[in-house]
Amino acid sequence: MDLVIRDVRVIDGTGGPSYRADVGVEDGRIAEIRREGTAAGGRRPTGARVLDAAGLALSPGFVDMHAHSDLALLRDPDHSAKAAQGVTLEVIGQDGLSYAPVDDTTLGQVRQAIAGWNGSGPGDDSVDFDWRTVGEYLDRLDHGFDGRGIAVNAAYLVPQGTVRMHVVGWDDRPATAAELDRMRHLVARSMEEGAVGMSSGLTYTPGMYADDAELTELCRVVARHGGYYCPHHRSYGAGALQAYEEMVTLTRRAGCALHLAHATMNFGVNEGRAPELLALLDRALAAGADISLDTYPYTPGCTTLVAMLPSWASEGGPEAVLGRLRDEGTAERIRHHLEEVGADGCHGVPIEWDTIEISGVTAPHLTDHVGRTVADSAARAGEAPWTTARRLLIEDGLGPTILQHVGHEENVRLIMRHRVHTGGSDGILQGAKPHPRAYGTFPHYLGRYARDLGVLTLEECVAHLTSRPAARLGLRDRGLVREGHRADLVLFDPATVASGATFDAPRTPPVGIPHVLIDGRFVIEDGRRTDVLAGRSVRGPRRGG
């Protein structure tokens, strides 16, 4: 065989007990699993290379169900942020905003709108945007760097906000019948070209302007193509439970599978309320709903500062937002909604500036704000917090990213134990001080929450990160250590695996993950990134996975 991994503890992704075995890899797939004590006549698999894995565990590659690597995969051939964690597949196109399908006008708008997530705002030529359709984007991923591919595999969700931008624009109004037909066509074409589902960002413009009837019609298209709907729903704060229930009801009406993105219960109004969310989901599952969810194992969230604004302030697109911020009267109205009413962009909760930490900016003269809360920066400048926030938004062209310290540890632990839970980093890779979840989510699950705290057993934890997401994506030959499956594999040390990333040093690599393979090729070997680019697009079920 090409490779034999000898004397390894196999955690196969099913959630069942681990076992010791030799595992043989041939032509990118798992060719043989020889359990300890079953080798006939003492025969053990042999190979061109034999890796002694005593003391290590072997699991399927981890699936990041909520990633923001849409451009990083094309900009950075190394991409160790994910590869070093054992991630072998990322699901991108999240939160209703990404780069396909677009036309020339829409592309420029979406680049500016989510520069804080992915970089490459206006004037950045680090990526050649030579695609317009989903199929062309996936082909670009397959080609990768000089035809050699990309660092890890990637699946794509067609972004509903981008589709609406493409057809309706940035207006806060219902789509006409003709516009709805065009959006149906775009979603159908995107699914036929390989998207695995559709995402929404229902606290982000312009996707949030869609009503439930519009979303239901688009979900029906997704369902016909065997995909799932992945909404960032309308509130994670004051209206969180109602927002979850809205998505459950909507997708059941559409006959569409539902995957709840970063399914958290945040802000003071939701402390201790995770059992209510889980009871809602259990009732729906018992009634036959097809639901899954993902979370990251941290309490702070991460987004852009402009996302906090009320939806009316974002109508018309980025330039319209900047115009409103520059106008004194309109800016005061925005402040009133943020600080006193509770803007829908801030989930209906009056903003607390001491919970909003600047994690990244694009303008060099603003870097002193990174790592400080808006309240702290304002105090240093002797001004009101809104004055500071407004200035940052204007001078950085809506670019600042933020950490939002509004989560609750009890909620995080309870939700991650649910039977439909999967792991998703929601990792934004931009900024001088990104959220450590981008570099540490998966070893943090294994080390802190499984080994140290016992919230999950190690076998349960691996299942959450491997076979469950593979099942949601409809991938029949990934997510398990099983003969015939693709050799997307992680070797880690259960005794030492841990996230190195912290809030102070968020780009520190993990420890205890010496080897990661994609299609049987080492992308991490002896703890170091190789030059292998084994990643490709993983297309939807109608395209054979």
Give the DSSP per-residue string, 300-361.
-EEEEGGGGS-HHHHTT-HHHHHHHHHSHHHHHHHHHIIIII--GGGTTS---GGGEEEEE-
- Token digits for 362? 């694009």
Judged on CB neighbours under 10 Å (0-12, 13-18, 19+), 452 is exposed
Give the 3-state secondary structure of residue 421. Answer: strand
C-alpha 510/C-alpha 514 separation (Å) is 10
Helices 240-254 & 274-286 angle (0-180, nearest 10): 10
State residue 40's pLDDT score. 54
State residue 544's pLDDT score. 35
The residues facing 401 across adjacent strands are 304, 360
* Contact between residue 201 and residue 158 where contact means Cβ atoms under 8 Å apart: no
Segments of the chain with pLDDT less than 50 = 543-545
C-alpha 524/C-alpha 490 separation (Å) is 9
State residue 543's pLDDT score. 41
- Reference 138, options 104, 167, 80, 98; nearest CA is 98
For 482, other C-beta atoms within 10 Å of its C-beta total: 17
State residue 190's pLDDT score. 98
State residue 545's pLDDT score. 37
Which positions ≥6 away from 492 have C-beta within 8 Å? Answer: 56, 57, 59, 86, 443, 446, 512, 513, 514
State residue 43's pLDDT score. 81
- Please compute Rg for the chain using Cα positions: 23
The residues facing 230 across adjacent strands are 199
* Contact between residue 458 and residue 13 where contact means Cβ atoms under 8 Å apart: no
C-alpha 199/C-alpha 233 separation (Å) is 10
* Contact between residue 254 and residue 225 where contact means Cβ atoms under 8 Å apart: no
The residues facing 154 across adjacent strands are 90, 537
For 370, other C-beta atoms within 10 Å of its C-beta total: 17
State residue 122's pLDDT score. 66
C-alpha 406/C-alpha 289 separation (Å) is 30
First to last CA, the chain: 25
Query: Residue 188 belongs to what H/E stretch?
Result: helix 177-192
Q: What is the pLDDT of residues 313-360, one digit of tens each?
A: 988 989 999 999 999 999 999 999 999 999 999 999 999 999 999 999
State residue 126's pLDDT score. 85
* Contact between residue 47 and residue 72 where contact means Cβ atoms under 8 Å apart: no
* Contact between residue 97 and residue 201 where contact means Cβ atoms under 8 Å apart: yes
Q: What is the pLDDT of residues 436-456, one digit of tens each?
A: 999 999 999 999 999 999 999
C-alpha 314/C-alpha 308 separation (Å) is 10
Provide the b/e sequence for 314-340 (b: ≥16 CB within 10 Å). Answer: bbbbbeebbebbeeeeebeebbebbbe
